[in-house]
Amino acid sequence: MPDLAPLSINLDLTTACNYACDHCIDWDILNSKVRHEDEELRESLRQMAQRGLRSVILIGGGEPTLYPGFASMVEFLKSLGLSVAVVSNGSRNDRILQAAPFFTSGDWVRLSLDAGSNEVFRRMHNPSKKDLSLDEICSWIPKIKAVNPDLLLGFSFVITWTGGSRGEVKVVENIHEMVDAANRARLAGFDYISFKPFLERQEDGAEVMDPAKTEKDLQAVIARIRDNIAAARDAAAGSTFKVLESTNLRVLMAGNWRDYTKQPKTCHMQLLRQVVTPLGTYNCPAHRGVSKALIGGKGVWAAPQDAQSETSRILGQFDASHECAEVTCLYNGTNRWLEALIEASAPLPDEAPADESGDWFL
């Protein structure tokens, strides 16, 4: 292995969460007693930054703003020259506000809200603070923008439909809330709303999209989603507000999502992107907390040679064509491009084929 670290990591600062979402993909690993040692974590990040790390997404199998030193961690990451993003449930926007001065252009914060009404929001998310509402969460957006107008703020909406479930727990359908959510996000001052389909964990731990699990005709569900996206875009016409579709939503609506489950044997993205959690370091967000995807302990990158050795091991033994056979992989095309490059065995050109975009979140 070369003396390199991943270009980008998902960093779970904590497993603690103050919601009990019916559609949570990481339910089984929430609120464990395992936690990061702050200085060990910072040393890991220092070592990674020295070896090519360019971006960190604070996300995870918990709510990142519940980490006691959340704002301080954002400040530290920026001191390393990294691009930083946050995916939060919006319950502690006061801490997002504290961290807001440290973000720079290109950084972003996305709030996972998934509803247009307070009623559906509470039914889906079950916040521990029973009177928490979308109204309260969205009221923080102008305050955050006032502190740092360069910080990109997004409203995340996971689309759920009748028949979806987390184990035996049936999820609340929210397709009818899509347009209201987009209008709420635009009026609150968000820069965009991002729609994505509901994912589940199968028995082997992989994070998958299973659109066949619907109690209604799948094509009718897709038609409703498509109509709501069109209506949301019509309502936003003439403004700078954007209505975005995730890659897996686009391929679901196009009907070719199965093509993205046909993986090559080697997942090269395991070298370029990893997930650091209090439970350990894993090869992919789709396998967070799954033992077969474990690269090493939570602090493995504090000893870079160990981390590189373990990365080499998992590159050789993790068969993506089998382990990810049901995963709609966003990096399917990237992996196949890298595979073709390796098989060609031709010298690389001295110059890159295009200018670097500067977006290190991959």
Is residue 207 within a helix (H) or strand (E), and if so which, with residue range? strand 207-208
Contact (CB, 8 A) for 153 and 145: yes
Residue matched to tokens 């009990």: 20
What is the number of other CB atoms lying within 10 angstroms of the CB of residue 252? 23
d(CA 12, CA 61) in angstroms, rounded, equals: 6
Task: Tell me the residue length of the chain.
Answer: 362
- For 149-170, write each residue's pLDDT tens digit: 999 999 999 999 887 656 667 7
Burial 271-310 (b: 16+ CB within 10 A, else e): bbbbbbbbbbbbbbbbbbbbeebbbbbbbbbbebeebbeb
pLDDT of residue 189: 98
pLDDT of residue 167: 62
> Which pTM value belongs to this model?
0.92
pLDDT of residue 204: 57
Query: Beta 165-166 vs 169-170: how paired, if at all?
Result: antiparallel
Burial 18-39 (b: 16+ CB within 10 A, else e): bbebbbbbbbebbebeebbeee
d(CA 362, CA 360) in angstroms, rounded, equals: 5
Q: Which CATH superfamily is domain 8-261 in?
A: Aldolase class I (3.20.20.70)
Position 178: which residue type?
A: M
Contact (CB, 8 A) for 324 and 261: yes
pLDDT of residue 265: 94
Could you state, in order of their start, the residue ranges of all structural domains in the chain?
8-261
User: Over its length of 362 residues, how does the chain's per-residue pLDDT go in tens digits?
Assistant: 889 999 999 999 998 998 988 877 666 777 788 899 999 999 999 999 999 999 999 997 789 999 999 999 999 999 999 999 999 999 999 999 999 999 999 999 999 999 999 999 999 999 999 999 999 999 999 999 999 999 999 999 999 988 765 666 778 999 999 999 999 999 999 999 999 988 766 665 555 556 665 556 888 889 999 999 999 999 999 999 999 999 889 988 888 888 888 999 999 999 999 999 999 999 998 888 889 999 999 999 999 999 999 999 999 999 999 999 988 888 999 999 999 988 988 887 788 777 877 888 87
